[in-house]
Amino acid sequence: MALIEVHNLRKEFKKLVPKTGFLSGIRNLWNTDYTSHVAVDDISFKIEEGELLGYIGPNGAGKSTSIKMMTGILVPTAGEISIAGMTPWKQRREHAQNIGVVFGQKTQLWWDIPPIESYRVLKTIYKIPDSVYEKNLNTFRDLLELHEFENTPVRQLSLGQRMRADLAAAMLHDPRILFLDEPTIGVDVLAKERLREFIKEINRTRGVTILLTTHDMADIEKLCHRMSIIDDGKLLYDGSIHDLKSRYGTERTLVIELDDAPYALHIPNTRVLREEGSRVWIAFDKEKLSASDVMMKVAEKHTIRDLTVEEPEIESIVREIYQSGLDRKKEDGHVAVLDV
Amino acid sequence: MSLFWTFSRQHFYKQSAYRLNFWLEMGGMFLQLYVVATLWNVLFTQTPTGFGSATLTQMITYAVLGILLGAVLSVDEGVHSYLQGQVRMGLITTDLMKPVDFLLHMLARDFGATVVRLSFYLLPPLVFAYLLFDLVLPVDAVQVVYFLIAVFQAWVILFFCNFLFGLISFKTLDLLGFIFTYYALIRFASGQIIPLWMYPDWMQPFLYALPFQSIFYTPIGLFTGVISGGQATTALWTQTAWMIGLFVAARFIWARIHRHLVVQGG
Amino acid sequence: MREHLTVYLTMIRAAVITRLQYRADFLMGILGVFILNAGTLGTTWVLLNRFHELNGWGFWEIVFLYNLWLLGHGIRAVFFRHVTNLEQFILDGTFDQLLTRPASPLVQFMGREIHYLGVGDVLLSALMIGLAYQNLALDWTWWMFLWFLLVALSSAAVELSLLLMLSCTAFFTTRSRALVDAATQFSWGVVQQYPIDMFNNVLRFVVTVALPFAFMNYYPSLLLLGKEGSDPFGYLTWFTPLVALFLLWLTARVWNFSIKRYQSTGS
């Protein structure tokens, strides 16, 4: 049995439909129109102990809602979750001992006091033994350089420091699973790098299972072996990053630097993306052509001075997947109209 | 002028977004009305001569107007709370960078909020109150016009009082302690609930010497007819004098603070 | 129980450290509270200076009534001022974090903040009750003093329960503040300074049964001032601590029910 098992998870809630148009402001005073909104729609997956999973999707896709269900904050409308053999919302307290949670948007530390004081409170709440507390605190002092700011009120910390302090807070009680909801949001490049190092480190040395949501694909590429893409409440992709690239990213770009200005580069099955001086970007599908095919065609007419092949960024692949999800939605709509 | 309407529209949308709040506030206002009306009824039954020359109907009208105007000319949602918020969050510099005169900008913002409160909290509940209670209404157009002028001038006076008060936050960052003092002063000295003539004789000269009586006592007194004839014009001119005086004070003090801010770089 | 207490005390410690950061506000805040209440009492004084009594209650009796309310309110405000802010806790996600920890959300919520403004209320009300005691030439027996202490705590408990129950609507609508504000008007706008037997039966029913704020000051005052005969329902004065206990019990039930609802309907 996997550490985390999610079966047919579903969550819906009601939303008020605001009136628009003539005198909308006044008519809203007695508005009672609600629609049911499906935030998470029949999602299933498993996560093994020690995995580091990237969980991505656009805003409002259902990421946070599913994390809230896995952390025991919300109860699903339907479906099951079993984490370390427990149902989060039924055995909320025992489950809470097992997990650590960081919401990037909202610190769990007391705003006006130094992190070290917050840690003392958490020590009591999680009933952390003195020895474990001291040991962990010392580890994090090294890893996250907590000592720099552990005595400064949180409101005076930079976002990067605050996030480090939050990560330490979530790890104090040795959780088996860590939920990180956008832990790198708004953090500068250097601080991001440091956070990633720490996340990688605790995953590797402590075997902590980590579920990470982010909008920064660099986080995913540098940290995760596996990713799940969710949009509109549905799971669009679940698998390794390598597979994602080979399945969806078959387009390559050849960047060629020529001796002279490019002309007559009409090679079948390719597209010229951009020209700039003597440099040209040519896109091709690697299933249909090889880079050397393209290169030879170009070499027939030009002298090539330099060239590189660019792999697609994971970001553009993901964008494509969202897009195709969107297209499918449109098609569904079309079918529904035909049925009528 | 368009600045004034922009803010009005914004506030209108904000107001109508919270529908439940609106009905609850209405309910709250009618509870207050009922409580004060009962209070005057009980006291009148006890001592019919206690109100001096005013009748019970006049007193109840006074109470109704006091409560409704209290909701329109808000002492807790004024420019001072905006200033405090901006100063605290360090956002005041963005206001200073706008290509509008700061005082005018603040006035427009407050105008928007007040117009919206006026349209929600004055006329509709006044109609209701008229159906529920026995009220005295202005007897002629002059009295109505006087009342409207008085309300307008009261708004300007309250705005400048709030503005001057809000400037404290530039010094202290926080108004909490002062705000209670300010509320207490306005509640006690403006005649919003108890008409000024009911205060002990020795206290009245002090109350008349403060700007706060111009905010509530003057418009309510004009509406209910307890201020009439020559007194009415005097009251209106007193308001005008306060408007000008407070405007000059606000300009002067603001100029000094502004200079200080520019020098210090915010 | 002991575990709850440990968590609560640790959290209160953090809350105190938080407050100490803003020490400068302390004196000004307390002074402000004094002046604010003096303003309200001043209004009552102006009226009673002219009319001598209100529905059979003299100035110092009203002072007693008002300050018993203020005492209960102050005790509540020191420890639980933030209960009416539950809506904000839910909106900004703080409440969700409480649910991810292995401790009672209620205990964690209660211990989240502490406030000094209530200290001003407690000091002022103690002083004014003392003055009223003298001016009314009251002469309590020792068990009456004990009863008074019990009543003061009950008053705080009544206010806490009612406010927390009302704030629990935030779990359903995420907009509870307006409702709380409207309901508390029955407290600061009605029972705080008026002997409620001057009002009609509907309003009396509301503040006695529906939103029993009258148990904060009016009913307990009847016995303490020896006026229980002045009101046909005067015997209710004896029920003050029981009402407080019942409300606390009810609040715990409402809280648990609301959290369950929130977990299954929230987003």
Find out whether B107 and B8 touch, Cβ atoms under 8 Å.
no
Record: contact B177-C38, CB cut-off 8 A = no
Q: Which amino acid is at B41?
A: N
Mean residue pLDDT of chain C comes to 92
Q: Report the range of poorest mean pLDDT among A120-134, B77-91, C51-65, C124-138.
A: B77-91
Query: Is the model more confident about C13 or about B109?
Result: C13
Mutant choice from A9, A103, A121, A172 vs C, greatest count of C C-beta within 10 A:
A121
How confident is the model over B8-27, as a mean pLDDT? 70
Structure tokens at C153: 């705590």
Range B53-59 average pLDDT: 90
Residues in contact with C145: Cβ distance below 8 Å, sequence separation at least 6, in sequence order: none
Distance from CA of A287 to the nearest CA of C (A): 44
**Domain ranges in chain C?**
2-265
Amino acid at C188: W
Preferred mutation among B19, B35, B169 to probe C, highest tally of C CBs within 10 A: B35
pLDDT in tens, B211-258: 999 999 999 999 998 888 889 999 999 999 999 999 999 999 998 888
Instruction: Show the tokens assigned to B192.
Output: 């919003």
Q: Is the dihedral of CA B4, B10, B13, B16 positive or negative?
A: negative
- A75 secondary structure, DSSP code: -
DSSP state at residue C81: G
Q: Residue A298's pLDDT is what?
A: 83
CB contact under 8 A, A112 and C267: no
**A270 sits in which H/E element:** strand A270-276
Residue A32 has what pLDDT?
65
Return the residue in B15, B16, B21, B116 with the most chain A beta carbons within 10 A, the one to mutate for interface testing.
B16
Q: In what order do the strands lie in the sheet with A209-213?
A: A99-103, A177-181, A209-213, A52-56, A226-231, A234-240
Task: Please report residues of C whose CB lies closer than 8 A to that of A117.
Answer: 14, 17
pLDDT at B82: 86
CB contact under 8 A, B19 and A29: yes
Q: CB contact, 8 Å: B16 with chain A? A: yes
Which DSSP state fits C51? H
What is the per-residue pLDDT across C183-196, written as a single tens digit (0 to 9) for each? 999 999 999 999 99
Query: How many CA atoms lie within 13 Å of A266's alpha carbon, on the beta-carbon side?
Result: 1
- Is the predicted pLDDT of residue C23 greater than 90, yes or no? no
Name the strands in the sheet holding A251-258, side by side, starting at the edge strand that comes first in the sequence.
A270-276, A279-285, A251-258, A304-310
State how far Cα B85 lies from the chain centre: 20
Q: How far is CA A34 from CA A15, A160, B9, C116, C236, in A?
A: 5, 40, 26, 42, 44
CA-based nearest residue to A255, from A239, A272, A241: A272
**Coil, strand or helix at A8:** strand
- Which tens digits make up the pLDDT trace of B160-193? 999 999 888 887 766 667 788 888 888 889 998 8
Higher pLDDT, C15 or B260: C15
Rounded-to-5 percentages of helix, strand, coil across chain A:
40, 30, 30
Question: What CA–CA distance (Å, rounded) separates A251 from A285?
Answer: 4
Q: How far is CA C122 from CA A116, B38, C163, in A?
A: 33, 30, 19
Query: What's the pLDDT at A333?
Result: 42
Short-list A211, A264, A173, CA closest to A47:
A211
**pLDDT attached to residue A336:** 31
User: Could you say which of B12, B13, B22 has the minimum Cβ distance to residue A29?
Assistant: B22
Count of CB atoms situated within 10 Å of the CB of C155: 28
Residue C117: the pLDDT is 84
Q: Which of helix, strand or coil describes residue A188?
A: coil
Residue stretches of chain A with pLDDT short of 50: 332-340
End-to-end CA distance of chain B: 29
Q: What is the pLDDT of residue B124?
A: 83
pLDDT of B87 higher than 50: yes
The closest of B21, B1, B194 to B112, measured between CA atoms, is B1
Which residue is closest to B26 within chain C, CA to CA? C182
Residues A102, A168: Cα–Cα separation, whole Å: 10
Which residues from C are below 8 Å from A37, CB to CB? 267
Top mean-pLDDT range of A287-296, B16-25, B199-208, C243-252 = C243-252
Q: How far apart are CA B239 and CA B250, in angstroms?
A: 16
B19 touches chain A (CB under 8 A): yes
**Chains B, C: CB pairs < 8 Å:** 105
| Model pLDDT, residue B266 | 43
Question: Which chain B residues are Cβ-neighbours of C117 within 8 angstroms?
Answer: 176
Instruction: Please give the DSSP secondary-structure letter assigned to residue A321.
Output: H
Q: Which two tokens mark A9?
A: 């998870």
pLDDT top residue among C104 and A19: C104
pLDDT of residue A314: 73
Contact present, C71 and C132 (Cβ < 8 Å):
no
Cβ A4 vs Cβ A83: under 8 Å: yes
What is the rounded average pLDDT of the residues C65-79?
A: 97
The rounded distance, in Å, linking the Cα atoms of C55 and C206 is: 20
Burial of A193 (0-12, 13-18, 19+ CB in 10 A): middle
Contact status, residue A301 vs residue A309, Cβ threshold 8 Å: no
Q: Which of A181, B186, A40 is nearest to C96 (CA)?
A: A181
Cβ distance A31 to B23 less than 8 Å, yes or no, reads no
Structural domains in chain A, CATH included, are 4-245 (3.40.50.300), 250-311 (3.30.70)
Structure tokens at A59: 């805003």
Contact call for residues B246 and B160 (beta carbons, < 8 A): yes
- pLDDT value, residue C104: 95
Per-residue pLDDT at B135 exceeds 50: yes
This complex has an ipTM of: 0.89
Tell me the per-residue pLDDT of B70-84, one tens digit each, with 9 for 90 and over: 989 888 778 888 888
Mean pLDDT of chain B: 86
Q: A183 by DSSP, 3-state: which?
A: coil
Rounded to 5 degrees, φ, ψ at C228 are -65, -15
pTM of the model: 0.85
Share of chain C above pLDDT 70, in %: 98
Chains that touch B (3 or more CB pairs under 8 A): A, C
CA dihedral B66, B67, B73, B76 (to 10 degrees): 130
